[in-house]
Amino acid sequence: MSREEDSTGFTAAEKLFALLIILIGAIIIYATTNSPSLIYPIFFNIGGIALITLGIFMILAKTQ
């Protein structure tokens, strides 16, 4: 296997992982907004936004 094939698989795995992180962040935000019994929902919203931001950054980052 050449190095190009190795980096292609790594890039695909990284993008898939980034999409998974975005999905988890979106689920956290959705569950937080639909659950009125949380004491401090702002912490969960900030965590969800941070995960979404991380996922978008990972998708936009260029791998070598």
pLDDT in tens, 5-60: 567 788 888 999 999 999 999 999 999 999 878 888 899 999 999 999 999 999 99
Q: Mapping DSSP to helix (H, G, I), strand (E, B) and coil, where does residue 64 land? A: coil
CB-CB contact of 14 with 60 (8 Å): no
How far is 12 from 7, CA to CA, in rounded Å?
9
Residues 6+ apart with CB under 8 A from 18: 54, 55, 56, 58, 59
Q: Is the pTM of this model over 0.85?
A: no
